[in-house]
Amino acid sequence: MRVPHPTYRFGRFLFDRTGYRLFDQDRAIGLAPKVLDLLGLLVARPSELVTKEDILREVWFNVAVTDNAVTQAVSDLRQALGDDPVSPQYIQTVPRRGYRFIARVAVAPHASERSTSAVHHESLPRGAKRAVAVADFANVTADADVSWMAAGIAETVTNDLRALRDLRIIDRSTLPDAVRRSSVESARASGLDLLVVGSYQRAGDGLRITARAIDAATGEAVAHAKADGPLADVFRLQDTIVTQLLAGLQVPVTVAAAARIGVRETSSLDAYRALTEGRLKLETLDAADVPAAIGDFERALALDPRYALAYVGLAHAHFWRYETSRWRNRPDAVALAAAIGHARRAIELDAGLGEAHAALAFFLASAGRCAEARDAGRAAVALEPNDWRHRFRLGVAAWGEERLACFDEVAAVYPAFAYAYFGAAMVHVARHDLQAAEDVLMQGIAAEGRGVSRPHRFPANGLHWLLGLVRLSHGAIDGAEAQFGLELTSAGRELYAAEFAMDAYDGLGFARLAARDCSGAASMFGKALAISPDHARSLVGLAAACGQLGNQSGASDAMAHAARSVGELRESGRATEAAVAHSMWQVGSGQTEEASHTLLGLMDEATPGFAGWTIPVEPLLDPIRRLPAYQRVLERLAQRAV
């Protein structure tokens, strides 16, 4: 059994050695693994001289690296701590010898391992925010006509609590099912400090709502709330519940927070119901539910044309429609434009609605409008810093270090959220730091596996596929095939399942080509094309397999089809995808120098962001990897990912 490491406190920082995370008060700081290893070595030996030889031996395990690696790691650590090397508070340089950690270090009991969506309060510094979640409210009378309120009240209470900066609000969509059903035991296991549970009952035109805030560690209720009134006055009743709970918890409420809690998004109960029902449909991430969700949001807007949240919901529904088509040569651009338009309309109606700005950031990033997307994401985080979803969407819009920092914070709050690791790995792949990419992907796979329940609403599509590509780039054929197989077996009906199943079949095809099993490769590419018949990468892969089998007619047909697919990508405005696919086609046609220059042109013309991030691990580009022009492509791609 592994013995947990202690937890170290110094200044305003906490280093959770077991969880492998550094916190600045309650904010997780994203640092490279080697920098965290260095910190662990220094804080374990406070006031002692730690020589460069010690650091090389303990951190790099005698791997041959230069002193520059140590210097850079120390520099990165100082920057994270805000330490001045001239007048240090934490790390003192001992010239020509090494370093000394000079701050007072307190060794605390080890931080308990976290398994799901929240960081336990015992692992956080004194005065850190309490992690709070709201369970679905119980429908006491089992009245089917108001069953939608179970989620509706919980969502409204959650949103109101987000206005409080002294609480860490855990989004309902991240909660294990048992927590959503008010299980205090599951809340405790999930690392929550407080769980809000409640119920409601209708009697004629009247409504009673009751709620309790329960200390997850002890199971005791520490705050109570009750509100009675007309059903039509449900919004005021919910605000009363929140106000009473906060009074019981003795949480200070600023004027701005009180104003936000009292906001009336709509005066129409029927519009509120339609919004809630639409949101519940979108939570499934099942494409089959999207048309009905659109109908719900449109019904809400017909009842209240100024309902900003309904515009946000409608925007998300159209965006999901776009997402189901994004991997096709001609994605649903109309749906993406509609999503952007509805998000902008929500902001016009309520400029203080962080959810609207975050949604706009997400959509603009998909449209390749990176600068606008970052601005919208930063606005959302500034408005509602407690909402992890805003940080996630800013991460999607951002690139390089800003993206890594955002996803580190998301993973600290919700470690089972797969895309945080996938999105971070994208940066490392673009930097051609494939070991870092593999480490992050393995963390994501492990974190998802530790979840109390599989987070169905946010499936881990893509992690195994990308890990397979990274391993294939190292020549580890068996390891790559195992990951592609796991991608296929984990696929369900979720939003991205078909897209990554196609990618996994491609990966298996490339692995079979590397193993000189051309028949097996052709079969795998055929399965990918059964999902997306016009996918250029699959077609070029099929052409390679056919050519090695001596089927020149099949190879020519596949290459001709691939050329048409590249043209379709260009015509639909997908310049980045077209350039990468065209370079693959050129390699398949023997035009290796031309392929490198196509990719150089992409690096010159693409707007700042993640364009071309898969280039370092694309198997079809293997024949040009040693060309000088291709090396320049890698250099420029890495520079863009700083």
CA distance 214 to 600: 58
CA distance 438 to 112: 25
Q: What is the mean pLDDT of residues 238-263?
A: 78
Q: To the nearest whole number, what is the mean pLDDT of the chain?
A: 86
Long-range own/partner contacts, residues 517-523 (CB < 8 A, 24 or more apart): 518/545, 518/548, 518/549, 519/545, 519/549, 521/545, 522/546, 522/549
CA distance 599 to 586: 11
CA distance 462 to 446: 14
Under the banding of pLDDT at 50, 70 and 90, the label for residue 335 is very high
For the chain, what percentages of helix, strand and coil (3-state, to nearest 5) are there?
A: 60, 10, 30
Same domain, 433 and 349: no
Asked if residue 217 lies in contact with residue 120, where contact means CB atoms within 8 angstroms, the answer is: no
Q: What is the mean pLDDT of residues 117-130?
A: 44
Same domain, 306 and 362: yes
DSSP 200-259: EEEETTEEEEEEEEEETTT--EEEEEEEEEEGGGHHHHHHHHHHHHHHHHT----HHHHH
Q: Please, which residues have CB within 8 angstroms of residue 538's CB and are 6 or more apart in sequence?
A: 502, 505, 506, 509, 525, 528, 529, 532
Give a yes or no: residue 1 inside a domain. no
Q: What is the mean pLDDT of residues 414-427?
A: 88
Lowest mean pLDDT among 151-165, 391-405, 515-529: 151-165
If you search the block for the tokens 């997402």, which residue do you land on?
323
End-of-domain residue from the set 261, 292, 320: 261
Q: What is the mean pLDDT of residues 148-174?
A: 84
Same domain, 254 and 290: no
CATH of residue 496's domain is: 1.25.40.10
CA distance 31 to 73: 10
Give a yes or no: residue 115 inside a domain. no
Give a yes or no: residue 422 inside a domain. yes
Same domain, 508 and 371: no
Give a yes or no: residue 496 inside a domain. yes
pLDDT for the residue 372 = 95
> Which of 174, 44, 164, 39 has the alpha carbon at shortest distance from 114?
174
pTM of the model: 0.73
Lowest mean pLDDT among 162-166, 231-235, 349-353, 585-589: 162-166
CA distance 150 to 142: 10
CA distance 402 to 201: 46
End-of-domain residue from the set 357, 374, 397: 397
CA distance 492 to 459: 9
Under the banding of pLDDT at 50, 70 and 90, the label for residue 534 is very high
For 405, phi then psi, to 5°, come to -65, -40
CA distance 415 to 447: 6
Give a yes or no: residue 142 inside a domain. yes
Q: Residue 422 is part of which domain span?
A: 402-640
Long-range own/partner contacts, residues 21-25 (CB < 8 A, 24 or more apart): 21/412, 22/80, 23/124, 23/125, 23/128, 23/412, 25/125, 25/127, 25/128
Percent of the chain with pLDDT over 70: 90
Q: What is the mean pLDDT of residues 245-272?
A: 78
Position with higher pLDDT, 545 vs 444: 545
Asked if residue 437 lies in contact with residue 475, where contact means CB atoms within 8 angstroms, the answer is: no
**How, if at all, do strands 167-169 and 130-134 pair?**
parallel
Residue 478, number of CB atoms within 10 A of its CB? 9
Give a yes or no: residue 518 inside a domain. yes
pLDDT for the residue 170 = 82
Helix (H) / strand (E) element for 101: namely: strand 98-101
Give a yes or no: residue 56 inside a domain. yes
The per-residue pLDDT for range 448-487, each reduced to its tens digit, is 665 434 444 456 688 999 999 999 999 999 999 999 999 9
Same domain, 368 and 434: no
- At residue 274, what is the residue type? A
DSSP 360-389: HHHHHHHTT-HHHHHHHHHHHHHH-TT-HH
Structure token pair of residue 14: 């906490």
CA distance 175 to 170: 8
Same domain, 388 and 427: no
Same domain, 205 and 291: no
Structure token pair of residue 276: 């809630």
Q: How many domains does the chain have?
A: 4
CATH of residue 125's domain is: 3.40.50.10070
Same domain, 417 and 386: no
Same domain, 491 and 573: yes
Lowest mean pLDDT among 225-234, 426-435, 510-519: 225-234
End-of-domain residue from the set 397, 414, 446: 397
Tell me the C-alpha to C-alpha distance, in Å, between residue 592 and each of 599, 606, 629, 638: 11, 21, 10, 21
pLDDT for the residue 453 = 40
Same domain, 391 and 407: no
Same domain, 297 and 209: no
The per-residue pLDDT for range 260-283, each reduced to its tens digit, is 676 667 889 899 999 999 998 988
Give a yes or no: residue 524 inside a domain. yes
Structure token pair of residue 587: 């390699």
Helix (H) / strand (E) element for 486: namely: helix 477-490
Same domain, 177 and 247: yes
Structure token pair of residue 266: 């709509």
